[in-house]
Amino acid sequence: MSGQVEFKSQAGPIVFDHRKAAFLPGCETLLVADLHFEKGSYLQAIGGAPLPAYDTADTLERLVDLIAHYRPKHVAALGDSFHDIHAGDRISARNFEDTNAVVASVPRFTWILGNHDPDIPDGLHGDQEDHLECGDFLLTHLPTPAFSDRGVNVCGHLHPKVRIHTRRSKVSQPCYAVSRTRIILPSFGTFTGGLDVLHPAIAGELPGERAYFAVSEGRVVPIAG
């Protein structure tokens, strides 16, 4: 087991990375889902949460590391990149500038719009789309039927987690949840939680045979469905 696993889907290969991002070699596209920028400041604003609002900076730093590793021609953020429609009012000038610097560091950057962020804050660079196609891969935020018989929908939104056994107990870890026609990415954001893959909201979106790839201690661990 290693830090990356190449999964051969019916639409082509996709690399699952232990840093909770995926890479499509065929179109040299790096995928991240559910960044939820400014969730920390949102929690502070609504209830005085004691958490320090460092999540945007940390999420950006991890994204920079992935871009340096894969050197993609395209980065696609699969929705809910911002935690709410007022995130642009709370984000610091430094984090705003750093976000635009990340966008400018790759030939193409696309914000796929999500249910938390039906629009992107004014002044941020990059394309905005409802969905994208990469060969037979359909990239969306919400689970969406693919366009072709060979198609695979890659989406976010559901923040999948799976229970894995250790020597002493069971622990819940972020995971890639996979079926023949759909791949659900784990959430990338620093302050994001998760939903168990056995929950009907996830299980119902994975028709047929399933497999899971847990992110655990710097590895991607295949787990039978």
pTM, to two decimals = 0.93
pLDDT tens-digit map of 196-222: 999 999 999 998 999 999 998 889 989
Least confident of 97-101, 179-183, 188-192: 188-192
Neighbour count for residue 97 (Cβ, 10 Å)? 12
pLDDT over 70 for what percent of the chain?
Answer: 94
Cα separation, 54 vs 62, in Å, equals 13
Q: Give residue 142's pLDDT band: very low, low, confident or very high (50, 70, 90).
A: very high
pLDDT tens-digit map of 8-27: 999 999 999 999 999 999 99
Q: Give domain limits for the chain.
A: 4-224
What lies within 8 Å, CB to CB, of 12 at 6+ separation is 24, 25, 26, 135, 136, 137
At 141 the pLDDT is 95
Rg (the chain; Cα; Å): 17
User: Mean pLDDT, to the nearest integer, of 61-87?
Assistant: 94
Q: Give residue 146's pLDDT band: very low, low, confident or very high (50, 70, 90).
A: confident
Domain 4-224 class?
alpha beta
